[in-house]
Structure 1
Amino acid sequence: MAGHEGPIFSVRVGGGGIAEITEHAVRAEVMGFDQVWTGNDLFGGPGIASLAAMLGATSRIKVGSAVLDPVSIHPVQLAQLASGYQESSGGRFILGLGAGSDVFFRRAGIVPPRPVPRTRTAVVAIRALTEGRSPAGLPGAGEGWHEQARIESPRPVPIYVGAMGPKMLELAGRYADGALPLCLPPRQVLNAMEQIGRGAAAGGRTLAELDVAACVWCSLDEDREHARRVLARFIARYSGSLSADALAAHGLDPEEFARTQALVDEGRLDEATRAVLSSSSMLSLGIVGGARDVLEQCEALLAAGARHISFGPPLGPDPAHAMRIFGESVLPSLRARVAP
């Protein structure tokens, strides 16, 4: 985020109930992370309730939603939630927005607008609402807003956009305060920064004005094979939610991911996991291994210009153990190597 000295390291936590996620948030604060994020996937964990618990249990760390979507939750309600979290936490909340997964929407019988337009209108509208203004008449906010469309007790909030495809990345650069590019594989951060920079330029800004988090999937454990199995299962579950264009751009086969998603849809998750493990490339979507493996790959990202690395689930076979390794070994080493 603008004005932050040195690199930013954040962690994305999920799985389990509210108590477990809150424990992860407290542990992230103790272990020296700058930000902690949790998601709100349809049919997933209790993300919105978890955010409130995380903010209430911590005092320093920033807490973000990664991500809320404007389809299952109306932008007005998102603005109300964000303002409330800002007020209750003393300004530590970050609103992460994304298009949401069409795979999950289909399961709920939801037919949403196209991803880029629905995200853009949400960002513009929520920005206005949290600043005490009406979105009526604002370019990009969409039609139908009334001049009296204002919320009570607005609080300005940083808005980040979760993105993977080129158009969403440019949208983040043009309209948001930060970006959460899902860098699958991690080296995609280079292309992501370039695309976000184009969007920033179109909005009259520079890339340096945004907090661009290189969001990577990480499975950390000294038992490398165990770590691989955990990452493979996670990749299988989300194989149909990834941008086919982004996968193809990095030499990955979108059809392989589509076949894996078909197995998941049929309830054959174990078989889908084995398919990922046997693939020659699917595991390259994340960072896997022990502390040394993670350090080497993160150093490459920082050397390439990344200034915020966000480590995401599954984190490892034992997330609490992985968090401790981050706090005791990975983060201190990375901060020391990029210190001025």
Structure 2
Amino acid sequence: MTAELDLLVRLGDYDRPQEVAERAIQAEELGFDRLTVGETTGWNIVPPLTLAADRTEELGISNDVISPYGRTPSMLAQTALTMQAAADGRYRFGIGPSSPAITERWHGQAFDRPLRRTREVIEIMRNVYEEGTPSYEGDIFEIPGLGYERGPSENPPPIDVGTLGPKATEMAGRFGDGWAPQLFTKDGLRDRLDDLERGAELGGKELSDLRVAPIVRGVASEDREEARAKARGTIAFMLGAYGPYYGDSVAGQGYPDVVEEIRAAWDDRNTDAMADALPDDVLDELAPAGTPEEVREWVRDYGQIEAVDAVRVGFVDGMTEADKRTTMEAIAELA
């Protein structure tokens, strides 16, 4: 497989930030190209990622994805540049429009014009990168600007954008250096790549200039049915309970009836019924779940989609440490 392998880990799976660094060491030893973590309502990502960067030598370090509502644009630029220094140039910064729940119920902000805000944050970050100042006049932000005390950066970290919809993905192509989508079938991803390419052209770039790293969540186990049950529960929950965006995206990829049934079960808070409403064929489209051989083949096929540069593999709910190790080892054979 020519595509790289990224490992996505969830901070909530660990008792101490140092354990994220231990996972990063495992990932590097197995041959993964990059480690990435998300940030929602748990730990701040910076300490565990800094530890991971410090204790590895070649492993790329990323985040999936920071909210543009949780920090000021200048602080996001400071964070990205600090992480790039800590990782000796191996860092990629990830940002996405976020969601109403995280924005309003955690950060206490109004979920207003998320795409415009994401674009302006990226532009302000680039001002700090390239000019050494956040000075900016936009629709949302007006910043007179002070000088970044370290000056313009000679090696700023690339900016990856996590999006789902057509206009958002066009924005990612136009203003980002990479794209990190999630919950796409192979055909759905190919269709959305057209939007990414259109955005790249608007930004004076080629599609090949962007690092395309779709996120998939799966599990490998010799107990095939147990693995599929765990993946089914996680994917169904994401479609029905994670707000509207994942469900709407998968519905638009050809499964509106499936999403409607899962959402109806979530209205009753019936997670068993949610899982039962996710058919085998749709699970197979969205997640690598089964024996190590099946998972390895699924990831290989996904990585062969034209324009995909990396497959970013994350875990599902309910996995034991043995499950995680088996999954990592199965996928790492592709490295």
TM beyond 0.5:
yes
2:146 maps to 1:149: yes
1:141 to partner: Cα distance: 7.9
Deviations 1:178-198 (A, max 9, x none): 110114335432123222111
Q: Residue 31 of structure 2 aligns with which residue?
A: 32
Once the two structures are overlaid, the 10-residue window that deviates more, 16-25 or 253-262, is 253-262
Secondary structure at the counterpart of residue 99 of structure 1: coil
Q: 1:140-179 residue pairs with structure 2 within 5 A?
A: 142-146=140-144, 148-153=145-150, 155=153, 156-179=156-179
In structure 2, the residue corresponding to 1:131 is in which secondary structure? helix
Counterpart Cα distance in 2 of 1:192 and 1:11: 23
Q: How many residues align?
A: 320
1:96 to partner: Cα distance? 0.6
Compute the RMSD of aligned alpha carbons. 2.6
> Quick one: which amino acid aligns to residue 294 of structure 1?
V
TM-score of the superposed pair, with normalisation by structure 2: 0.85
Name the % identity.
Answer: 27
Q: Taking structure 1 as reference, are residues 84 and 261 closer, same or farther at Cα in structure 2, changes over 3 Å only?
A: farther
Distance 1:67 1:319, change over 3 A: farther
- Equivalent residue, structure 1, for 2:231: 231
Structure 1 residue 262 displacement after superposition: 4.1
What is aligned with 1:191? 191
3-state SS of the aligned residue for 2:13?
coil
What residue in structure 2 maps to residue 304 of structure 1? 305
Using the alignment, how far apart are the partners of 1:178 and 1:330 within structure 2? 22
CA distance in 1, matches of 2:169, 2:105: 26
Indicate conservation of the 8 Å contact 1:31/1:324, yes or no. Answer: no
Corresponding residue for residue 251 of structure 1? 254
5+ long unaligned stretches in structure 1: 336-340
Larger CA deviation: 30-39 vs 302-311: 302-311
What is the rounded CA distance, in whole Å, between the counterparts of 2:43 and 2:261 in structure 1? 27
Q: Answer yes or no: is 1:220 the counterpart of 2:220.
A: yes
Q: Partner residue of 1:99? A: 97
Q: How far did 1:321 drift?
A: 4.3
Selected match of 1:322 from 315, 321, 324: 324
Matches within 5 A, 1:12-27: 12-14=8-10, 15-17=12-14, 18-27=17-26
Which stretches in structure 2 are left out of the alignment for 5+ residues? Answer: none
Worse overlay, 198-207 or 234-243: 234-243
Amino acid in the other structure paired with 1:322: K
CA distance in structure 2 between the aligned counterparts of 1:67 and 1:8, rounded to whole angstroms: 19
1:313 aligned onto 2:310: no
Following superposition, the deviation at residue 158 of structure 1 comes to 0.8
Q: 1:94 to 1:35 in 2, by over 3 A?
A: same
Q: Does 1:287 align with 2:288?
A: yes
The residue aligned with 1:125 is 124
- 2:182 is matched with which residue? 182
Task: Write the deviation string for residues 31-59 of structure 1: whole angstroms up to 9, x where unpaired.
Answer: 10111100001x23442322122112222
